[in-house]
Structure 1
Amino acid sequence: MATEAAALHLTDIRLPAREPFDFRASLGFIGSFPAMAGQQGTAQAALTLAVREAGATLGVRLTAAPGASGLDARLAAEQPITAEAVAAVTDRIDFYLGLSDDLAGFYRLARQDEPFARVVERLHGYHQVKFPSPFELLCWAILCQRVPMPVARQMKRALVEAVGNRIDVGGERLWAFPDVDQLARFEEAELVALIGNQRKASYLHRSVRLWAELDEHFLRTGPYQEVRERLLKLPGIGEWSASFLLIRGLGRMERIVLDKEMSRAVQRVYGRPVDEAEFQKLAEHYGAWQGYWGHYLRVGG
């Protein structure tokens, strides 16, 4: 495997973003997100990560585009970078960082909600950062259930290193999370040996194979309830995990649920505890953006 930057193939692309867009807010969130600790770099106002798309492992370095609303991306790979890989990475990064998200309607509604308007003022231009891919979030949702965060990260790292999607760019070693085909090659016993947990290995083994039969475009855009029902059929995915996948993996903002963390966030912003009925009333004000409302509450509340 090549390790010198000079031996890598490079491609530069421009990724536009809907205004308002503040890349500094994205970097701030990523730097404080424990599930991604150690996977991405946020130094020098740049985001560095590795992605696995179109059968290739690519290093990506993202910086704010000068004089434009968007990002400049440099892609690096050990093999020539195909047009298919460029298109796949472009779509993945755009979706991951919410670059195409239109916040205008959300912000108009926020101006009518004085307590929440102060949150928007602090986060103005922040587009929701999702997991790098919904498949990665599926695996994380299984790994992180009922175990301490460091243990879940250790199990995730074991999967990543076992597959070996590594690329060294500019002296920085980057690891991409496996794609579906790569994880599907592992037998259940191999997963048990890697992560040290029989139940989670069983869930992963079965869910990875079922995920391979799903169409990500449909999951992103299909009827909400139908998508939710398909997610709930995946082993290891319950109500909470399905909601997590819908919002943070698939960008489905149409609905939101009241859990303990959300309840605390609402109380911090609105200055009082709310029951389910009042929570739904607050959420309904934001309509199709209620998931964005909930994410902003958690991040900026």
Structure 2
Amino acid sequence: MDLPFTPPLHADQLFGHLAATAVPGVEEWLPAGPATGGGALRRSLRLPGGPGVVVVHVPAPEATSVRAEITTTDPADEPLAAVLCRRLLDLDLDPALPDAALAHDPVLAPLVGAVPGRRSPGAPSAEEIALRAVLGQQVSTAAARTHAARLVAALGERAGSSGLRLFPSAESVAALDDDDATRLLALPVRRRETLRNLARVLAGGTLDLRHVDDGGDPARARAQLLALPGIGPWTAQTVTMRALGDTDAFLASDLGVLAAARVLGLPGDARPLDRAAAAWAPWRSYAVQHLWGVLPHAINTLPSP
């Protein structure tokens, strides 16, 4: 299946981010080769009719579509799987809109000019991203992947015969007793309880984490998340940016964002940077991508063959 998009699309940044943050067992990077072209991301999906697996390929520089291989338990789920792939890759974006807006800023203009078409990497599941965001609080990308992989190995359902697993459901995380939670979650006590409480709330269905295309409201979702113990602005903004299609999330306290801001001569502390970033609305999620691109990091490049 070909998933069309409006170019340009900066594939190194988009697929590099997804590869660098991939959760072992749920997602895997397939290196460039005869079958994959420039490389591909393979991951499981939780679908109404049973588990699915998708492979999304890095598009060639001149391409206007992404090749996706979709396998579902129930063929009726294929259209939904295609929608989730589009959200994962931010394919419904018209990149001219954020690029033109951000190019008016004298600091961001050279970044946009050098790398047009940056996308905001998405996700097929808001529940998954919310739990992953808590696992990633105040730790490196590698540590966040390790914590998530341990949870997947213990609680993730097998995605058919694919060798992959589904990311654990909120219900399964909420059901962990104290001993199992301590054994599986090598986290500080408060963060472990934040994760379990978030899982209970997610399982209860009181959080409205619908994608904007499904009628979701990122501002309302942020407020609901921030009302939970242990959930701060970084976590809430990460969830709305990655899973709700929020174009205007800004991770003012993110260490990478702050480091890039200092390099560019922007405020190097979260509160003044957040105030300065107001000028980039309503495209602050894309400003984050450009700031992350300032410093060398695995999220900015495709994995080496």
Q: Normalising by the residue count of structure 2, what TM-score does the alignment of the two structures yield?
A: 0.76
1:74 corresponds to: 69
Corresponding position: 1:266 with 2:257: no
* Equivalent runs, 1:103-122 vs 2, <5 Å: 103-122=95-114
Q: Which has the higher helix share?
A: 1
1:195 corresponds to: 185
Corresponding position: 1:244 with 2:232: no
2:31 corresponds to: 43
Distance apart, 1:98 and its partner CA = 0.8
- Structure 1: give runs of 5+ residues left out of the alignment: 1-12
Distance apart, 1:160 and its partner CA = 0.9
1:216 corresponds to: 209
Whether contact under 8 Å (2:95, 2:118) holds in the other structure is no
Distance apart, 1:288 and its partner CA = 0.7
Amino acid at match of 1:266: A
2:155 to 160, 163, 166: 163
Moved over 6 A (4+): 275-278
2:300 corresponds to: none
2:280 corresponds to: 286
Q: Which has the higher strand share?
A: 1
Amino acid at match of 1:210: V
Amino acid at match of 1:211: L
2:3 to 15, 18, 26: 15
CA distance in 1, matches of 2:30, 2:259: 28
Amino acid at match of 1:134: A
Corresponding position: 1:59 with 2:53: yes
More displaced stretch, 152-161 vs 176-185: 176-185
Amino acid at match of 1:23: A
Amino acid at match of 1:261: G
Whether contact under 8 Å (1:141, 1:241) holds in the other structure is yes
CA distance in 1, matches of 2:217, 2:160: 41
1:26 corresponds to: 14
Amino acid at match of 1:287: A
* Equivalent runs, 1:150-189 vs 2, <5 Å: 150-167=142-159, 173-189=163-179
Amino acid at match of 1:15: L
Distance apart, 1:241 and its partner CA = 1.5
- Structure 2: give runs of 5+ residues left out of the alignment: 33-38, 296-305
Distance apart, 1:181 and its partner CA = 4.5
CA distance in 2, matches of 1:224, 1:112: 25
Corresponding position: 1:298 with 2:288: no
CA distance in 2, matches of 1:287, 1:147: 28
CA distance in 2, matches of 1:218, 1:30: 19
Distance apart, 1:297 and its partner CA = 1.0
CA distance in 1, matches of 2:119, 2:171: 30
CA distance in 1, matches of 2:174, 2:210: 20
Distance apart, 1:119 and its partner CA = 1.6
CA distance in 1, matches of 2:6, 2:270: 33
2:196 to 183, 197, 205: 205
CA distance in 1, matches of 2:107, 2:193: 45
- The Cα offsets for residues 246-275 of structure 1, whole Å up to 9 and x where unpaired, read as 22333323342532432321222x345456
Amino acid at match of 2:287: W
Distance apart, 1:99 and its partner CA = 0.9
When residues 223 and 48 of structure 1 are mapped into structure 2, their CA distance, relative to the original with a 3 A threshold, is: closer
CA distance in 2, matches of 1:181, 1:274: 39
RMSD: 3.3
CA distance in 1, matches of 2:183, 2:269: 44
CA distance in 1, matches of 2:271, 2:184: 44
Identity of aligned residues (%): 24
When residues 199 and 296 of structure 1 are mapped into structure 2, their CA distance, relative to the original with a 3 A threshold, is: same
Amino acid at match of 1:59: V
Q: How many residues align?
A: 282
* 3-state SS, counterpart of residue 127 of structure 1: coil
Whether contact under 8 Å (1:188, 1:205) holds in the other structure is no
